[in-house]
Amino acid sequence: MFFRWDWLRPQLAAPIVPTLGPVHPDALTVGIFEDVLRAADTGDFLPYDKDRRWGGQKDEKVLREDVVHQPAHTLIPTLTRRGRGTVKVFAYGLRDSGVEEAAELAAKLAVAHEVAGARVVRPLCPETTHPHGTRIQLKDFTVDPCPDPGGPVRSVTAWPVAVQKTFAPFAEAMAGDGLAFLHTHMQTGRCGPVLAAVVEDRIVGAIGPLEVLPDAVGSPQLMPQYFAVLPEVRGQGLGRVLWRAAMHWGQTHGAAYQLLQTEVDGPSDRLCQAEGLDSLGFTHTTTV
């Protein structure tokens, strides 16, 4: 075993794991950190990795030979070759312990691996004042019912063909939110359903794919979705109806929870906070 849990556990201000992203606090064990180290050797997806839904090979891996593990802080660097490439160093520590060392490590490894990007990712506790970056949120389906909200929302494939054809231009318009990527996978027929909101026979919002998979400890998790509404129709409550419809789908399909990452004070963040989700902490990413 590489990691000492008595060192690492107190350093985890927020439940985020390199290459995997947020995990449920109940699944946050030393075993999951050991798993990502082993996966670095094989290049395979872990069985509970959300990215395995898209096929291919795992792009991001831990640079296990460069991990720093000490009583006060743990630094775990990762490498991705996507685009011009990026090294990220996850800096787990008590207060600001290890942050400067993490920046130096990120810069050094970016040069060594000949990639353009070097970043430090800092998990921050839920009590952080004036946070910036990304909030980790938990939707617990075991607490309250998630009724069907009704409204002009149904699966894309349940709309008339003429309406379905409007998904392509919608997806292109919202490519920055990942909808073009999602549309590509929808066309292969290998992803779960996508819900769409329609106004005047045109798709103007969508959320999906909707899929429930077991996490590292076997608990059923509603996987993260792409979620977007055209700017010109925002403010009409369509985003909230889409969100609630997705939560209704997740609960009725046996999910115990969902984890989300939202930009602090962004539209999705405000929606999730208004819907009563629990904040599990934050991540703040700095470019070196």
Query: What per-residue confidence (pLDDT) applies to 219?
Result: 97
Q: pTM for this one?
A: 0.91
Domain assignment of residue 281, yes or no: no
Q: What is the pLDDT of residues 23-55, one digit of tens each?
A: 999 999 999 999 999 998 888 899 999 998 888
- Of 94, 113, 133, which marks where a domain is finished? 133
Which domain range does residue 96 map to? 5-133
Q: What is the pLDDT of residues 82-96, one digit of tens each?
A: 999 999 999 999 877
Same domain, 205 and 104: no
Same domain, 172 and 237: yes
Same domain, 26 and 113: yes
| Domains in the chain, number | 2
Domain assignment of residue 201, yes or no: yes
Q: What CATH number is attached to the domain comprising 223?
A: 3.40.630.30
Beta bridge partners of 279: 137
Of 81, 196, 99, 176, residue with least CA distance to 90: 99
Same domain, 28 and 99: yes
Domain assignment of residue 264, yes or no: no
Q: What is the pLDDT of residues 192-220, one digit of tens each?
A: 999 999 999 999 999 999 999 999 999 99
Burial class of residue 68 (count of CB atoms within 10 Å of its CB; 0-12, 13-18, 19+): middle
Mean pLDDT, range 251-273, rounded to an integer: 94
Q: What is the pLDDT of residues 101-120, one digit of tens each?
A: 999 999 999 999 999 999 99
Same domain, 84 and 154: no
